[in-house]
Structure 1
């Protein structure tokens, strides 16, 4: 489980860095919030998938497979949890820093749940 959380924190940091970089690049755009969240989510999802399949669960699942479908489906659910935290913090506190803190909390909650779900349903032994 320790390796999983190390990989999760790596993906979390990659996600937040991508979001912050996107925020800086698209600061004057009306859709900056959604662009930066989308970019962070895609970068974080990709890094998490690679780390989970190769290093955590040592699986050879492909994205186009039953396991890949379940992995993606559970990731979408967890993404919804993290969006709620991030957007809530962003709207309540109206700052990029607090929005990223909300994302940090949401991703932590989501990754904890996702580990249990992946272990039980996706990467069953």
Structure 2
């Protein structure tokens, strides 16, 4: 039960990082492709936060050297492609339907939540073994 709580807490932290960076980018930059830039920036921030927390505290996965660490991160990123598509689908879907930032963020939070449940299983089986 502690693992479930910790994983959920770390998912929440990564969601806050993702949505927070998106909101910051939207405030700083209002030019062309601002929405896309904000989502990509938030995705990158959430990825880095979640990878670090998962690697060290959820899976307690030691890497042997920089090469092994890089390969582990790339594999973690690769397993995230499917879950990122879920997240983006919800976020851009809510944007298309509701046309507001707050509803887009809600869609993003929902997509991230679903994605992180799937991501745990992918990481457990394919990344941190």
TM-score by length of 1: 0.91
CA apart distance, 1:64: 2.4
Match of 1:50 among 42, 49, 52: 52
Partner residue, 1:16: 19
Aligned-CA RMSD value: 1.3
In the other structure, the counterpart of 2:43 is: 41
Per-residue CA deviations over 1:32-85 (Å, capped at 9, x if unaligned) read: 1001001101111100110011111111244422x4333111112211110000
2:117 to 112, 116, 125: 112
Q: Partner residue of 2:87? A: 82
What stretches of structure 1 of length at least 5 have no aligned partner?
none
Q: Residues 51 and 73 of structure 2 are in contact (CA less than 8 Å); yes or no, is this contact kept in structure 1?
A: no
- Write out per-residue CA displacement over residues 72-124 of structure 1, whole angstroms, 9 at most, x where no aligned residue: 11112211110000000011100000000000000000000001111122222
Task: Provide the TM-score with structure 2 as the length reference.
Answer: 0.88
Partner residue in 1 for 2:101: 96
CA distance in 2 between partners of 1:36 and 1:72 (Å): 19
* Structure 2: runs of 5+ lacking an equivalent: none
CA distance in 2: counterparts of 1:81 and 1:122, whole angstroms: 20
**Matched residue count:** 122
- Within 1, Cα distance between the matches of 2:13 and 2:41? 16
